[in-house]
Structure 1
Amino acid sequence: MKRIIVVLGLCVLAACGGSGNSGPEPVQRNAGINVLLITVDTLRADHLSAYGYPRNTSPRIDELAGKGVLFETAFTYWPKTRGSFAALFTGLYASQHGLTVRNRDLPDFNQTLAETFQEAGYRTGAALDNGNLDQALGFAQGFETYEQTWLTGETELERTEAITDFGLDYLSATDDERPFFLWLHYVNPHTPYDPPEALLSQFRGDGVIPRGPELEIVTGYHGGLNRHLAVDGETHWGDYVDRYDAEILAVDAHVGRVLDALAASPHAEETLIVFTSDHGESLGEHDYFFDHGFDLFNPSLRIPLIASFPGFLPAGERIHGTVSTLDVYPTILDLAQLSFPTGRAELQGKSLLPLVRGTTSRLHPHIFFQNDQHLMAITNGRLKLVRYPDTKDRGAQFRLLDMYRDPAELENRYEGSEARIAPFEAQLSSFRTQTVAWQQATDTKRAGPSTEDEELPEQTRRSLESLGYIEK
């Protein structure tokens, strides 16, 4: 009977036209469905088979896509872990939620996605690997259980196993009848790329990816291979793409184990699955090797986004419209029929259901991006305008990219296009001005100084060091 109530409630919602941040109120406080959010760190959409990659890196993720909706043009708002998940879990821009370049934690005045589910009577749990998500930085808000695997797992494989085991135990629990919100975050394929040899051997020398140029060893991430990432005997570009792809194959198997456990559980027909990433990875594009977030080019911004919900979301559907990680919060609430938070900033994303239902082909006229280097950008799905910050020697610089004509984003078309794109540039300028006003309001809401990385537990700092966030 519970399943019938869920489906009927959702069909009523669909008949009402859905609920973005300005749509009608959900028809029911709590339809009782479960939510499984699986995120994979540093995962480029174009290295998944479901997104057209020629290697078979992701058979289980592909299977999930075949049972749900795949969004072909999904972007992260902020191409670093902290900024990305702060936006995903609040539905807000950085200057609104408070985790910025200057303040590196998520303040407790936010109403996170997990808190919304907790207040609706859900049990909430998370298991993760990445010290950037330490509970001291505010990411545990709303979670009854928050398993930080880097505190106990010595190797990436041990931590990956711990996340999967946590998920299997959570899905098999029978002592709590409440619906659940479960988040699992795997760090692979983040650097250092260290896949099991058995998986790496499936790709090494397969002829799909050329070995490419020999890479110079460098201290940073531009112009060659970072000295901390170098593996003995592996000196060519293709060697490290092989390793990246093998890490995807490794995490794909763990995603598959979780999905199998869900399918074998009583929750299978009552669980919404959302699969995505926090950001992509630059694999040498623009001379930027095996890192992310320094620029606002698509290798760092494009991410996979898949949603599956038996009986409501269509199977095997592919959506072309441009979407953002900011849309995840309102979409999950829409599907779960939970009320949108009140007494707080308006959600900046929109529910993706109108795209799924086909009532619109374009959800956003434009979306924005920011990063840790003070860059800002706007895109309408075809054009992307990037603003580089002022310096003492010159004013702001701009790069205009046409992603249809120049998918590699190599040609700056700004010069000579100023008049034609003036409205576009004005929108970016207006957003920049608005972020200043938002930031001023946010600063007044902070209860105290932000948590600095130096204050984090030693194990967390070791995790950040191993991932390249703290210099060794």
Structure 2
Amino acid sequence: MKNHFLTQSFNKNPVILSIFSWLCTGMIIGIADSLWRISDTYEIGAEKFRPFFKIIYFIKEFFFYYGLGSFILSILLFLSLFYLSKKNILISSVICTAAAIFFPFLYKFNKQLRFDFLPAEVNSHTFILEIIVCGILIFSIFLLLSYSILNKKYAISVGIGIFLLLLYAFPSFEKYEEERYFSKEAEKPHKRVILITMDTTRYDHLSLFGYNRNTSPNLIEIAKEGVLFTNAYSQVPETDPSHTTILTGTYPQTHGLYENGMRISNQSLSSLAEWFKKKGFRTAAITSRDRLNPEKLGIKGFDYINFPKLPQSEKYKWKYSSSLPADRTYERAKRWIDNNYHTDFFLWVHFFDPHWEYNPPAPYNSKFNSGYKGKVKKYFGFVFDKRKQFTKDEIRYAESLYDGEIAYMDHYIGKLTKYIEEKIPSSSTPPIFVITADHGEILGERQESIHFVFCHSLFSYHSLIRIPLIFRWDGYLPKNLQIKNIVESVDIAPTIVNLIDPSAKFECDGNSFYSLFFNKNSYGKNCAFSMRAGRKSNFEHFTNDEFSITTDHWHLIKSCDSIELFNIENDVFEMHNIAKSNPAQVSNILSNLNLWIKKHPKA
């Protein structure tokens, strides 16, 4: 080993090989990230590149975020290992290269890394791991310096070490100056709008609406400080179309995105993000599901987009989906807030947790379990084989897991709203919070009647389209107000616009319910409309469109082969179709539905 060329070179200048080790580590992780996307999220734009340029792009991105501090610490660690191992290059190289992968933990701990390799919640195992790694690195650095001081011939290493430590501190000073500027700028009267959407969140499984399980204590607290709409309705029980309706204020027939995997067909539509961008606001979308990427949906106006990776091949990109849990969504939103809280912004944050499969982390996976010790079947939707159908205990257990997902999500929604409130100075304008859901969920109640257990999107039942809706703006909107008037998802965008500018008009299908906040004599809508678009299916019923209309007491569903009418006051789960016994009521409600269908033809 002593006569080896690398050994001789390293003995003359050990820093060279340590730099080489760091560069190799960065290239390996950068290439791996471009091929397999090790990081859970990546910035919009990279997917447009060809494979070769993707590799170059991710290497560049990796080195940019890996940072000067990691570079310096890698050199110091290598030197310390080199001396401690009695100049054994092989041991030093292997250990240093492995350790270099963990430097992002340290940088994330110092809030200088933009995306993390592992989630780090305070008091979590990962958080503790970061502290341990940080401690080991610092110990190694000081051990090297101490060793050098005791041996005068290594005095040069002491000078190099001190110099490098000063260089390492430089980014922290820069960060400190940046934070000072942000803090001073944030005190000015900026307007900040945060739209939070909860995927697959059934209204009657929220303690906010009187559910007997305490699934949403944070939503309750937020609603106490704001306005709760108790009769809000989604226009389509499917994720992509419903979010498109929320963000554009248009019905599915207008925007043309009818089911997951599609793109807006009406290119002339304006989005809420575009409106804010024209007003000089920074706009951002942080979603927890790979397919809910505004750019892929055709929703324009977002400056910053952050969504989960899609590890599957392009061939299966619409068949499968990747998602992130609430803790990761919270961390990503928090990082964006840290860099943008000092200015006007519109931020959309999407939580995916209540969606199937119901798999909340501990302790939420047992929080509402009454003692069932079996397993949940891994299939959903239609179950025609009676041998495979869910037992009552299995359905109740699945419900407990679903409720656990809601409680887990609620915890992080509470954390996010509190963090934003604490981040914004009291001298500035309070943030505007808007919290809603895209649709609800069927939870086993349809197994007996139509052999359908869990999921959504194929039907328009009340449990799928009634959604929670909260507006909160401290000092501007009333507190602890419940509004029973009917409102729709299409009304959310124009209402947000009027909160920013009461005289502004937002071109869309919806109507602003701004006046409902301040005038008790104002009226909402007489009814809400929804639709489920036809799709490829072995069942003729699902190849045709289905429409529904909801009033204060009635819910009517019109499909190609039937008319269903339910009294939603007395029949909450819609088990009794009373259309035949109420022909006059059907005729009256159906006429309103047909007028709406005629007024909004499919794009």
The TM-score normalised by the length of structure 1 is 0.75
Letter in 2 for 1:397: S
Matches within 5 A, 1:11-26: none
Q: Residue 121 of structure 1 aligns with which residue?
A: 280
Q: Is the 8 A contact 2:284 2:346 kept in 1?
A: yes
Q: Is the 8 A contact 1:42 1:280 kept in 2?
A: yes
SS at structure 1 position matched to 2:330: helix
Q: Residue 364 of structure 2 aligns with which residue?
A: 199
Mean Cα deviation higher: 156-165 or 290-299: 156-165
Distance 2:457 2:518 in 1: 33
**Post-superposition offset of 1:224:** 8.3
Q: Is the 8 A contact 1:218 1:224 kept in 2?
A: no
Compared CA separation, residues 157 and 284, structure 1 to 2 (3 A): same
Asked if residue 349 in structure 1 is aligned to residue 514 in structure 2, the reply is: no
Matches within 5 A, 1:349-428: 349-360=510-521, 362-373=523-534, 374-389=545-560, 396-428=561-593
Matches within 5 A, 1:275-290: 275-287=435-447, 288-290=452-454
- After superposition, the C-alpha distances for 1:248-272 in whole angstroms (9 at most, x for unaligned) are 1111121122112112112664211
Q: Which one has a larger percent strand, Structure 1 or Structure 2?
A: 1
**Post-superposition offset of 1:218:** 6.3
Which segments of 5 or more consecutive residues in structure 1 lack a partner in the other structure?
1-30, 390-395, 443-472
Asked if residue 331 in structure 1 is aligned to residue 499 in structure 2, the reply is: no
Matches within 5 A, 1:23-422: 32-100=190-258, 104-107=262-265, 108-151=267-310, 159-173=325-339, 177-205=342-370, 220-222=381-383, 236-266=394-424, 269-287=429-447, 288-337=452-501, 340=504, 346-360=507-521, 362-373=523-534, 374-389=545-560, 396-422=561-587
Distance 1:267 1:119 in 2: 25
Distance 1:140 1:267 in 2: 32
Compared CA separation, residues 142 and 152, structure 1 to 2 (3 A): farther
Distance 2:287 2:387 in 1: 26
Compared CA separation, residues 166 and 186, structure 1 to 2 (3 A): same
**Post-superposition offset of 1:184:** 0.6
SS at structure 2 position matched to 1:184: strand
Q: Is the 8 A contact 1:149 1:162 kept in 2?
A: no
Q: Is the 8 A contact 2:290 2:308 kept in 1?
A: no
Q: Which one has a larger percent helix, Structure 1 or Structure 2?
A: 2
Give me the CA root mean square deviation.
Answer: 3.3
Mean Cα deviation higher: 276-285 or 366-375: 366-375
Q: Is the 8 A contact 1:321 1:361 kept in 2?
A: no
Distance 2:279 2:557 in 1: 40
Distance 2:324 2:556 in 1: 42
Distance 2:509 2:299 in 1: 22
Distance 1:381 1:367 in 2: 9
Structure 1 or 2, whichever has the larger Rg, is: 2
**Post-superposition offset of 1:397:** 2.1
Distance 1:75 1:365 in 2: 12
**Post-superposition offset of 1:352:** 2.3
Q: Is the 8 A contact 1:34 1:267 kept in 2?
A: no
Q: Is the 8 A contact 2:293 2:305 kept in 1?
A: no
Count of aligned pairs between the two proteins: 391
Q: Residue 449 of structure 1 aligns with which residue?
A: none
**Post-superposition offset of 1:368:** 0.8
Compared CA separation, residues 180 and 99, structure 1 to 2 (3 A): same
Mean Cα deviation higher: 143-152 or 364-373: 143-152
Letter in 2 for 1:36: I
**Post-superposition offset of 1:223:** 5.6
SS at structure 2 position matched to 1:293: coil
SS at structure 2 position matched to 1:202: coil
- After superposition, the C-alpha distances for 1:151-189 in whole angstroms (9 at most, x for unaligned) are 489998855333212221222226x75300001101101
Mean Cα deviation higher: 35-44 or 156-165: 156-165
Compared CA separation, residues 435 and 420, structure 1 to 2 (3 A): same
User: Could you tell me the percent identity over the aligned residues?
Assistant: 27
Q: Is the 8 A contact 2:323 2:352 kept in 1?
A: no
The TM-score normalised by the length of structure 2 is 0.59
Compared CA separation, residues 338 and 290, structure 1 to 2 (3 A): same
Q: Is the 8 A contact 2:240 2:259 kept in 1?
A: no
Q: Is the 8 A contact 1:219 1:226 kept in 2?
A: no
Q: Is the 8 A contact 1:217 1:226 kept in 2?
A: no
